[in-house]
Amino acid sequence: MELSQALEQLAALQTKLYAYQCASSSLYLDSVTVAPRDTAQGRGVALGVLAGEQHKLLTDPAVGQLLDFLDQHTEELSQLQRRQVEELGRNYRQLQRIPADEYMAYAQLTNQASDVWHKAKENNDFASFQPVLERLVAFNQKFAGYYDPDKVPYDALLGEYERGVDMAYLDRFFAAVREKLVPVIHAIGKKEQPDDSFLFRHYPVEAQRKFSDYLMEVLGLDRSHCAIGETEHPFTLEFNNKDVRITTNYDPHNVASSMYSVIHEGGHAKYELNIRDDVQYTCLSGGVSMGVHESQSRLYENLIGRSLPFIQAIFPRMREFFPEQLSDVTAEQFYRAVNKAQPSLIRTEADELTYCLHIMVRYEIEKQLIGGTLAVADVPATWNRLYKEYLGVDVPDDKRGCLQDSHWSGGSFGYFPSYALGSAYGAQMLRNMEREFDVWGPVSRGDLSQVSAWLKDKVHQYGGLLTPAEVVRNACGDFDPTVYTDYLVDKYSKLYEL
């Protein structure tokens, strides 16, 4: 085989994978935004075929030979090509290790599990979910060995979501979180809470839609390449760096809900839109990892979006969208309201301070579940005990307890920690920005262009060209969880006069 021929095949393979991914994404996007309710069956048939074709492509022995050949010519490859061969090779070898029947059985299981979980949550019935969760855990324990035979299972799973992260890394991180944040949370419990009742006045959806348009403008999102849709659980979906979609959910009685959802998803979108052209339609397109992605969304949402300078900048315009609702409210009052910290039951509604503790509960449980030291039957009791310990709250039922998240039913174990890591990475990025230029002057005038430019330079542009660890080092330096905990302790000490 000629090298030039092999490189053509490498490109063609990736274009085809992109096309299948693009098709599946389009069907998914449609299903959760505009599709009629009872249309899952036909979509399932199509998605099944597309997944099968994708799997066939990635397990084709000819692909293995191609990647081997290219692997023997690394010195003649560009950095881009080397990284592609590395990533595809990793993927190919993983799939080779998974027996076809197990792969199929797992795909079927996760398909069913989502339905079972939905009903179990609705009926507050953990027992009905338990046997499925047991099978999911068993599969993940086994698959972990296929993913990375050199690691203990949970480390292998963690590495799937955030290459380079393992329990040693996370234990250090969460120890800092627990040590620094739990006392602050307890101290706040004894303080008077700010009035946030005005957030829950009636905010008509039509006005909220216009406000979203304004927020996207402030974020500098190019609407000719980024649309906003409506869905139940907001998410961002990228087709490529010229076509990104964010979604939100409008609650007519909670203005902050969609507002911070748009800023959060907008942060994800900024990342995707800023990725360089030459990794598009390859396995390196898209943000490099969940953790790095969350660092961007949570940086925009919390570090910028919930800062006083940002709120002061946008509040005058915000009052134009909601003149009646906000006539008696100041920017400062708004700032205090959207930064109210209060231990609660539901992760997705948690404030910036307590959020990490919600993740910590899930991390502890996953570690023990996959490690084999916790039985699935004992998850509810452990969940409730840890919520009491970390957050000081009593969990009244499993619906608002261990059944609240969809992740496990989708087969995701090791995903949650990325959320918390992302927040910590973001804090380090912000500190580094503050050392390099005046962040808050421009932000207080609603100008985020320098923040965006810095993030594009340090993080966004690379897509998957660098590894997650390289991107983190590039933007954060050495990972130091105390930067994040110090940031939170400082912010909340001032807010609550601790």
Judged by the rule CB under 8 A, the positions of this chain that interact with a copy of itself are 15-16, 18-20, 22-24, 26-27, 29-30, 33-39, 41-43, 45-50, 53, 206, 223-227, 229, 239-240, 242-243, 245, 280-281
Q: Which of 162, 265, 272, 366 is catalytic?
A: 265
Tell me the closest approach of the beta carbon of residue 106 to a copy of itself, in angstroms: 21
Amino acid residing at 218: V
Please list the residues that pair with 243 across neighbouring strands.
240
> Quick one: 226 or 421, whose CB is closer to a copy of itself?
226
CB 415 within 8 A of CB 408: no
- The alpha-carbon radius of gyration of the chain (Å, integer) is 23
- Asked whether the CA dihedral 234, 51, 85, 90 is positive or negative, the reply is positive
Using the minimum distance from each CB to a copy of itself, give the nearer residue, 210 or 223: 223
Q: How many angstroms separate the CA atoms of 399 and 123, rounded?
A: 8
> How far is it, in rounded angstroms, from Cα 49 to Cα 223?
33
Contacts of 296 (CB under 8 A, 6+ apart): 267, 268, 270, 271, 287, 422, 426, 455, 459, 460
Residue type for 465, please?
L
Alpha-carbon distance of 184 to 181, in angstroms, equals 5
Complex with a copy of itself: residue 238 or 366, whichever CB lies closer:
238
Integer CA distances (angstroms), 237 to 38, 226, 380, in order: 23, 10, 32
- The answer to whether the CB of 257 falls within 8 A of the CB of 208 is no
The token pair at 208 is 């909220």
Nearer to a copy of itself, 9 or 33 (CB): 33
The type of residue at 262 is: V
CA distance 335 to 332: 5
Nearer to a copy of itself, 41 or 72 (CB): 41
The minimum distance between CB 476 and a copy of itself, in angstroms, equals 31
Look at residues 491, 218, 185, 483 and name the one whose alpha carbon lies nearest to residue 341. Answer: 185
Q: How far is the CB of 266 from a copy of itself (least distance, A)?
A: 14
Nearest-approach distance from CB 130 to a copy of itself, in angstroms: 31
Q: What's the closest the beta carbon of residue 217 comes to a copy of itself, in angstroms?
A: 14
Minimum distance of a copy of itself from residue 360's CB (angstroms): 38
Task: Name the H helices within 149-196.
Answer: 153-161, 167-188
| Interatomic CA distance for residues 131 and 142, integer angstroms | 17
Give 241 or 412: the residue with its C-beta nearer to a copy of itself: 241
CB 456 within 8 A of CB 274: yes
Q: Which is nearer to a copy of itself, 48 or 477 (CB)?
A: 48
364 catalytic? Reply is no
Smallest gap from Cβ 448 to a copy of itself, in A, equals 20
Q: Catalogue the active-site residues.
A: 265
